[in-house]
Amino acid sequence: APNDTDGIVGTELGETLNGSDQTDFINGLGGSDRISGGNGCDVIYGGAGNDTITGNNGDDLLFGESGANNISGGNGNDVIYGGADSDTITGNNGNDTLFGGAGNDNLSGGNGADILFAGLGVDTLIGGAGNDTINLGVDGATDTISYNKGNGSDTVNQFLIGIGGDILSFSGIAAIDVVQSGSNTLFRVGDGIAGNGNFGKGALLITLANTSFTSADISANIDPTNIPVFQFS
């Protein structure tokens, strides 16, 4: 029977490594490599160096390891670990799970219901299209959640309120109703008009789990480059 698993191992130099349509195991070792998994459910280790890793099709398991890596899952439900340095990680299509690890990382879920873990460092996280879960961790660093119009309904855990805390950055959202729901704070599309009976009825954008967000927190925890009109319950 043919072998349906391919093994590819690089060297200590930077090189281009391409997988096949089978299930590939690829280890870049040293150097700044360009690694592509091809089709199939692949396992890829970048190794040392600043690597560019693309899973392509299939449910891939991708490890950036050391270095400032650029990792893209492609299609499929991928699991991606950034590693110890400042990485850029994109899930693309599928329901992906992204781990930033240490370093100041940029995580973008892309399409699908994704789960993002910021890890250590000052990170920027974008859930993307779909209803995503964003976990900021308890490292005390200032993380930024970037929410663009049409991104779906995201749940954010461990959001730190106050000066030096985390940041919500909105794009394409003119007005937001802020609703306290038990121990959670809900951010819903608003119309910016007080007292007209439509408060809290718009589409749900973000849920801050176990966090109380008030008007006093706008100056510290909302990106000043685009501050929507807020109405509070």
For 45-70, write each residue's pLDDT tens digit. Answer: 999 999 999 999 999 999 999 999 99
Q: Would you give the distance in Å from CA 156 to the centre of its chain?
A: 11
Give the model's pLDDT for residue 1. 33
Range 4-26 average pLDDT = 86
Q: Which residues of 140-168 are buried (b: 16+ CB within 10 A; e: fewer)?
A: ebbbbbbbeeebbbbbbbbbbbeeebbbb
Give the model's pLDDT for residue 21. 86
Give the model's pLDDT for residue 4. 54
Both tokens of 73, joined, read 């899952």
Give the model's pLDDT for residue 6. 75
User: Does 215 reside within a domain?
Assistant: no
For residue 229, name the pLDDT band (cuts at 50, 70, 90). very high
Q: In which domain, by residue range, is 21 found?
A: 5-141
User: Does 105 reside within a domain?
Assistant: yes
**How far apart are alpha carbons 146 and 108 in whole angstroms?**
9
For 105-119, write each residue's pLDDT tens digit. Answer: 999 999 999 999 999
User: Does 175 reside within a domain?
Assistant: no
Domain tally, the chain? 1
User: Does 124 reside within a domain?
Assistant: yes
User: Does 203 reside within a domain?
Assistant: no
User: Does 86 reside within a domain?
Assistant: yes
Range 201-219 average pLDDT = 98
